Amino acid sequence: MDNKHKKISRNNKIRVGSFLVITFWILSISLSFANLEDNEQIDYKLIEEETIQTVSKATDMPKLNARIGLIFDRNSKTILYEKNGEKQVPMASTTKIMTSIVVLENANLSDIVTIDKKAAGTGGSRLGLKANDKITVHDLLYGLMLRSGNDAAVALAIHVGGSIEGFSNLMNKKAEEMGLINSHFITPHGLDEKQHYTTAYELACMADYALNIPKFKEIVSSKNYNITINGKSHIISNTNELLGNLNGVYGVKTGFTNGAGRCLVTACKRGDLDIITVVLGADTKKIRTSDSIKLIEYAYKTYKVVNLDEIVKAQFESWKQLNENRIYVNKGKTSDVKLTISKLEYPKMAIESNLIDKITVEFNSMYYLEAPVNENDVIGEAKIQIEGKTLAVLDVQVQKAIQKKEVFDYIMEFLKLVP
């Protein structure tokens, strides 16, 4: 090949190389604010219609395609339905619920964070942060929960905990404080790690706790938000496919890794019934969406919120009228015993509609007491049940102390008997 043709060949190679570099650069820019976690397009309305039809025909509990599912009643902190709900599993980006809790409880939202190389180089779902970018903690939280940015997660972890390891220690400490014994955190973003896991139940508990933080609830209920990076505005959208597409949904978080599968934690409130559903280990986004709708529609078709406190108080007053005067206090200065009942930890509870009329309250009490009797002494119990299943047990207590008789009291009694 002569020199002229060699030169042309080299020029062609340079042009091709330049074209590939420019193409890669353009793709990088276009993907810098793209969410790689939830790029599967689905027809929400069609899935909702199909799922609701399935639920309306069902006579039993929902049949899920995902490996794990759970319905959590926020009023009573109880499980209404579960499929492998207490199995330890990876949870992908739903991890960021705990990340947000730790940040919100330990950081100043107005702090400006300068993004380091470690955060900028984090893979998976990204907000699109680059080294030396400047952004507030507040906007990083929106990028974390709406866009599911792993780069935002690392930036927050380093800012709050000094390092990923330091922040993970804070996450595990918080989990311990919350009584979560089946959760362990290695990262702030949830990318697959062998010792990074939780359960559907404990994930629901995290979401329930977080939703009591006003800023967290505000963030996860936002469909879109305008964040600022280096003084420039960027509109980001929420990855939660049910938010704005299903009645009552107001959060919480999506997730996906190869190890965890498709995951979705959803908060939904219609009337008094406020629930959290958890779907983990779904093979596709369509399945996690469909299964989440199944759980939500099943809950609202099956359960109603009952004010147990009103039921118990009404039945206690009736029982008290018949039994309070029957209690004898030996050697007491008075035989006038006044009773009260302890408070329910959760006054309201979701109960299956067909079981509401079967709620019973069974009272048991001591009828012979020995003075002195102290205020709040427990002398019995009230057991709240449905068809043999105990919902709660309350203490029947003495409302006012009764002192023991002294010699003077006996003298006075004797004198009253003397004609």
Residue 76 φ/ψ, nearest 5 degrees: -110, 0
Q: With a cut of 70, say whether residue 284 has pLDDT above it.
A: yes
Beta carbons of 34 and 125 less than 8 angstroms apart: no
87 is catalytic: no
pLDDT of residue 333: 81
pLDDT of residue 25: 39
Beta carbons of 294 and 302 less than 8 angstroms apart: no
pLDDT of residue 30: 38
Which whole number is the average pLDDT over 245-267?
96
User: pLDDT category, 416, cuts 50, 70, 90?
Assistant: low
User: pLDDT category, 54, cuts 50, 70, 90?
Assistant: low
Q: With a cut of 60, say whether residue 215 has pLDDT above it.
A: yes
Which whole number is the average pLDDT over 360-378?
93
User: pLDDT category, 257, cuts 50, 70, 90?
Assistant: very high
pLDDT of residue 403: 86
Which whole number is the average pLDDT over 26-44?
47
Percent of the chain with pLDDT over 70: 83
DSSP 226-265: EEEETTEEEEEE---TTTTTSTTEEEEEEEEETTTEEEEE
Identify any residues that bridge with 282 across adjacent strands, giving them in sequence order.
262
96 is catalytic: yes
pLDDT of residue 165: 96
* Tens digit of each residue's pLDDT (9 = 90 or more) over 182-211: 999 999 999 999 999 999 999 999 999 999
* Residue 345 DSSP one-character state: S
- Tell me what the pLDDT averaged over the chain comes to: 87
pLDDT of residue 405: 74
Check 76, 100, 125, 148 and give the catalytic one. Answer: 148
* Tens digit of each residue's pLDDT (9 = 90 or more) over 294-341: 999 999 999 999 999 999 999 999 999 999 999 999 988 888 899 999
pLDDT of residue 50: 55
The beta strands (E) that lie in 74-119 are given as: 78-83, 112-114
Instruction: Please state whether 244 falls in left (phi above 0), alpha (psi between -120 and 50) or beta.
Output: left
Round to whole Å and give the CA distance between 122 and 140.
Answer: 14
User: pLDDT category, 48, cuts 50, 70, 90?
Assistant: low
Round to whole Å and give the CA distance between 112 and 134.
Answer: 6
Domains and CATH numbers, the chain: 35-302 (3.40.710.10), 327-407 (2.60.410.10)
Check 96, 174, 348, 405 and give the catalytic one. Answer: 96
318 is catalytic: no
Round to whole Å and give the CA distance between 323 and 339.
Answer: 10
Query: What is the reported pTM?
Result: 0.83
Check 93, 100, 183, 290 and give the catalytic one. Answer: 93
Which whole number is the average pLDDT over 337-362?
95
Beta carbons of 146 and 225 less than 8 angstroms apart: yes
Exposure b/e, 261-276, CB count within 10 A at least 16 = b: bbbbbbbbeeeebbbb
User: pLDDT category, 39, cuts 50, 70, 90?
Assistant: low
